[in-house]
Amino acid sequence: MNTNDLLKKDCFTTEEIVYLLGANGNDKTLLFESAARCQAENVQNKVYLRGLIEFTNCCSKNCLYCGIRSNNRQVKRYTMTDKEIMDAVRFAWESRYGSVVLQSGELISDGFTRRVEKLLRKIERLSDGKLRVTLSCGEQSYDTYRRWFENGASRYLLRIESSNPELYKKLHPDNQHHRFETRMKCLEYLKKAGYQVGTGVMIGLPFQTMEDLAHDLLFMKQIDVDMVGMGPYLEHLDTPLYACRHQLLSKENRFQLALKMIAVLRLLMKDINIAATTALQAIDPMGREKALKVGANIIMPNITPGRYQDFYTLYENMPCTAEDNEDYMASLEALITLAGHETAYGEWGDSEHYRRRDKGQGTRKKDLTESVRPVSVWLSTKKIKGATVNGKQ
Ligand code: SF4
């Protein structure tokens, strides 16, 4: 294949993506330059900030790769109080972040649903509705997603981790709480509820092939996501998947593969938001800056109080940051400037992709039934039948 010719295309086949993911030397440079141009043309040079608040590390699930899985007794569990959460939100608001992300393990109960609702209303009052809220609280029922949306959440992150159902099975216990079909159904619910929907995958997993990764990117395009957060898989000692660590690529190779995934995704989905994730930073201190140069346009400074950050360890060596201090903010701004971008203070940074689609389909509150179709199409191509979440269709 000729890389120059390939990079002029708007869409790629699986084989072409596999070729680009294997690019090295001059071909890799061409790929990265092409992604940077695409980024400048379609999402400008702004980098948007999302203040990340990991408000509890309690989780009912047991994903085989995750450091805070419920069976890991080594983890000290915590739940932030409403006051602690609102102090972090206030910090983000006063620092002109534009958005916060409330992230937790997966907890399903009426009490949890009501608590998140209450927090959303408090955030709305604090900022007079001017602070965007993203939720990342796992699989929930459609009713729960809808209630949270109606109380002020406008974006939701739910990573598919792998779009290959067979690989997904290898990453999760084989029981009704960890079904690929349920994850897919939840992505469908989120679109139907009206959210800007984000997903993502781990890159460099054991058992994962280049074709799997190519399909992951095509999957994101097919279900028409608005945001993506993906990064290298990093093993955690206290997880079952750690036993497969000998199969892994070197960390540097996983890192390079993640950068190429970001670059190809930018070319495939020109106007979505793509996060420069902390997993990149865990391998390379300049990892996030490098991602910003090849297509990423979102940074999520962790504003969880420092005393809790040690306990939200999804993987080993997860960067713990004191991101609520001025020195950190100055260094973050310098990092963004070094990458040739501008820090977009006080801006929501909604995905252009969502804005364009929303213009065509109506307001935020509208039931986006039309946009649900791509998920259903993917389900049918994978011969997956409808799933239930919390007993509800
Ligand atoms: S990946 Fe998410 S749902 Fe799975 S165990 Fe970790 S926090 Fe829980």
CA of 62 to the centre of ligand 1 (A): 6
- Tokens (6 digits) for 159: 């990573």
Mean pLDDT of 182-187: 98
Note the pLDDT tens digit of each residue in 29-75.
999 999 999 999 999 899 999 999 999 999 999 999 999 999 999 99
Note the pLDDT tens digit of each residue in 295-308.
999 999 999 988 88
More confident residue, 382 or 86: 86
Distance CA 17, CA 13 (A): 6
Residue 161 alpha carbon, nearest atom of ligand 1: 1
Q: What residues contact 215, with CB distance under 8 A and at least 6 apart?
A: 14, 163, 164
- Within 6 A (CB) of ligand 1 lie 59, 61-63, 66, 68-69, 105-106, 138
> Whose alpha carbon is nearest atom 5 of ligand 1?
69
pLDDT band at 236 (very low <50, low <70, confident <90, very high): very high
pLDDT at 372: 39
Distance CA 131, CA 160 (A): 27
Is the pLDDT at 105 greater than 90? The verdict is yes
3-381 is classed CATH 3.90.550.10: no
Q: Give 131's DSSP letter.
A: S
Best residue for ligand 1 mutational test, from 106, 159, 239 (most atoms within 8 Å of Cβ): 106
Mean pLDDT of 108-112: 97
pLDDT band at 388 (very low <50, low <70, confident <90, very high): very low
Is the pLDDT at 132 greater than 60? The verdict is yes
User: Which pTM value belongs to this model?
Assistant: 0.90
pLDDT at 365: 37
Distance CA 267, CA 295 (A): 8
pLDDT at 167: 98
Mean pLDDT of 5-26: 96
> Whose alpha carbon is nearest atom 7 of ligand 1?
105
Distance CA 310, CA 232 (A): 20
Note the pLDDT tens digit of each residue in 353-372.
998 877 655 444 333 333 33
Distance CA 344, CA 346 (A): 6
Note the pLDDT tens digit of each residue in 198-229.
999 999 999 999 999 999 999 999 999 999 99
Mean pLDDT of 123-145: 97
Contact of 308 with 80, CB cutoff 8 Å: yes
pLDDT at 166: 97
> Whose alpha carbon is nearest atom 4 of ligand 1?
63
| C-alpha 391: how far from chain center | 26
Among the ranges given (92-96, 230-234, 290-294, 327-331), the one the predictor scored with the smallest mean pLDDT:
327-331
Is the pLDDT at 348 greater than 70? The verdict is yes
Mean pLDDT of 157-168: 98
If you average pLDDT over every residue of the chain, what do you get?
A: 89
CA of 254 to the centre of ligand 1 (A): 21
Mean pLDDT of 71-89: 95
Contact of 56 with 105, CB cutoff 8 Å: yes
